[in-house]
Amino acid sequence: MNQLTYVLINPYIIYKSRTGSVISRLLSRSTNMHIVGARMFAPSQELVDDYLDALNYDHKDGDTNRIDGFIYDYVKKRYAPSSDGSKRRVMLLLLEGENAIEELKENVVGAIIRENVGETIRDTFGDYIENENGDVIYFEPAVLIPRTVESAKKHIDVWMKHADNDSGILENVAFPKNADVQKTLVMIKPDTLAQSRTRTGAVIDIFAKTGLKIIAIKIIHMTVAQAMEFYGPVRQFFINKFADKVGDKVNRALSNAFEFDIPAETVEMVKEQLKVKNADNEFGKIVNFITGCDPWNTPESEWSTASKETCIALVYQGENAIEKIRNQLGSTDPNKAAPATVRKEFGQNVMVNTAHASDSPENAEREMGILKIAENDLVEIVTR
């Protein structure tokens, strides 16, 4: 049975930049679940209170209820705003798959009190430490999940209720309001998600080396119209870049076709007529790669339809964020990228090159607007 469930990546895990590793473990330990929605939250006290009510801890005795109590207290202390009013970052992932709730609980996230080490998410990233008297002195569950279909629905409803006010691009959460920081967009491309269920997390881990903070995340199924606008500047670049190559091809082709010298003005005239066509052909390949649709063979009436190709958009924030991310991403051509960069590790060629990153503050804002990063799409996903 196909089920919708959620995973909350805890503030401490995000703070310690373990987010990518958790996502890798989340996807690699289950082949039948997919992330269908994602959003960063900065929980208000009202959201925390509603979530605590939904957790329904009743203070009765018993081992299961004892663990419920630890989780209840953890949320109360670690999800709520701190004493100075500053909020914490929580990443909400919506997952869908056959028997997803049980699969998550048993095989992916694992138990709070564990017997093995290094298998599930909590084996590796969680902690449950008792002293010699059996008192718990440290507790970190790494992620939070529901235990039943009923609790999944109830908990998701709580987070949806507060999504418009408590989530989106968390502008003033990771850094003080007047801090000298930048925002930049990273878009993990379809090849990354298709190649390996661990690669997305590995890419996020490489970007974590920058020390920047994730302040937004969204699952993107780009439309043809979005892709054409997003990569619009590249089209003009192709016109200029390939103009001389087009001229050389025209000259060779005409020279081979006729037994006389082709006048330079004739080559120039044909080049001018073909350079835009050539650029559009290259541009169409990019749009096709990102959306799975050839724009020139897709009716314009379908350009606004969400594609089946999946991208993950992340917004990073910090000092010199654009430069740091692009340095960590590496050259457009993976063969020319520096060692240990994202594209050197995972890229194949100038198109299949793992991820995109904004090249200026202006383009970062433009691209975030095109992808509608700030808009909340979770309710639509939950109710579809």
Structural domains for the chain: 2-167 (3.30.70.141), 227-302 (no CATH)
User: CA angle, corner 351, sides to 347 and 353, nearest 5?
Assistant: 20
Return per-residue pLDDT of the chain as tens, 384 residues.
789 999 999 999 999 999 999 999 999 988 889 999 999 999 999 999 999 999 986 555 555 577 888 999 999 999 999 999 999 999 999 999 999 999 999 999 998 876 666 789 999 999 988 888 888 889 999 999 999 999 999 999 999 999 999 999 999 999 988 899 999 999 999 999 988 889 999 999 999 999 999 999 999 999 999 999 999 998 887 777 766 776 677 678 777 888 778 777 776 776 667 777 777 888 999 999 999 999 999 999 999 999 999 999 999 999 999 999 999 999 999 999 999 999 999 999 999 999 999 999 999 999 999 999 999 999 999 988
Select which of 34, 59, 221, 356 is catalytic: 356
DSSP H helices in 171-263:
190-195, 199-208, 224-230, 232-257
For the question of residue 34 being annotated catalytic, the response is no
Q: What is the pTM of this model?
A: 0.91
- DSSP E strands in 49-154: the ranges are 90-98, 127-130, 136-140, 143-144
CA–chain centroid gap for 103, Å, is 22
Return the number of other C-beta atoms located less than 10 Å from residue 13's C-beta.
Answer: 23
Cβ neighbours of residue 64 closer than 8 Å, sequence gap 6 or more: none
